[in-house]
Structure 1
Amino acid sequence: MEIEKTEIEGCFVVTPKVFADERGQFFESFHHEKFKNATGLNVSFVQDNISVSTKNVIRGLHFQKGEFAQAKLVQTIKGKVLDVVVDIRKESPTFGKHLKFTLTEENRKQVFMPKGIAHGFVVLSDEAVFSYKCDAYYHPSSEAGIFYADEQLEIDWQIDMNDAIVSSKDQELPTLKSYFDAISIGDRG
């Protein structure tokens, strides 16, 4: 297993060692001790989620806030996606910065993101099966997000945006600035 740091603190690219022969493939998708030794992080995943999406579907940018914030390890099981992480930790030197990763069933790359990261992806293949390992359970009251087409973030989703398939819920998410302005106003109240 190869683990690489990224420009965003606490965010890593994990590439498992794949053993392939005429029968197919085998790889260890996660190993707690190896991950802990390489990153210094002691993460315990408690929930696995799978999404199945068609070409041009954009999901995101999602996160959970407060005590139910989640660290995640994501990977593509089938197909190809462009994975996007955005640092939304106000105290971080990379606040507002985004990174993109191409995750495919061929390269088997995974992305680990710490709490305080908004996450989304777009499907570049005809269909994609996408896996999320989370270190906290999903809580609807803690659900939040940032608008995927926020001009301040300048994310190139690498598709014709006229072809994008986005849920009405994700289309109504606030921009990064609006989200934090609303929190500041709420803190004053």
Structure 2
Amino acid sequence: MSALSDRRERERVHRHQLIIAAARELAETEGWEAVTTRRLAERVEYSQPVLYSHFHGKDAIVSAVAMDGFGELATHLRLARRADADSGQALRAVCRAYLGFAAERPALYQAMFILPTDLKFASAQTPPPLRAAFDEFVHCFPPDNPRRELFAEVVWSALHGMVVLADSGRIPAEGQQERLDFLVTRVAGVR
């Protein structure tokens, strides 16, 4: 590859990340309804055709934001799990970290779990960042447990339900710690 080709590729990657960052920032400040190709083009100071050369519409932008989010979530959960791995409280720490991540980044969480994307969950096509986030739950269960992926899936599903129901006001936020304790001790069987 020539120096010119290298530079063009770096510029293309930079534009790609700039568009993702602008979409995320706009969604966090004004909601996903405000994220349009016109608004993004204005924010990143590129034409709409340049945006379309990177993404084929809003769903593709949401998917790219979600993919970045799964990478961040995996790192966030890994740090929480490792901090409490020796105390036997890894699952509780990962669950708390997950709930905190969702609360601190609501628009990102929407991109990852609520808005339509082409990301595949629980399949051979599951992207590595998504799988890495899920594996942090799996690692909270003993390796000799043949059903630890099922346990992790049920815990993640319950947490997701807690996030969505609390966010919509259907369950009170102040009961979150009690729900988390119930999930970890009764459903997952971790003391």
**TM class by smaller structure:** under 0.3
- The structure richer in helix per residue is 2
Point out the structure with max Rg over C-alpha: 2
Q: How does the TM-score come out when normalised to structure 1?
A: 0.26
- The structure richer in strand per residue is 1
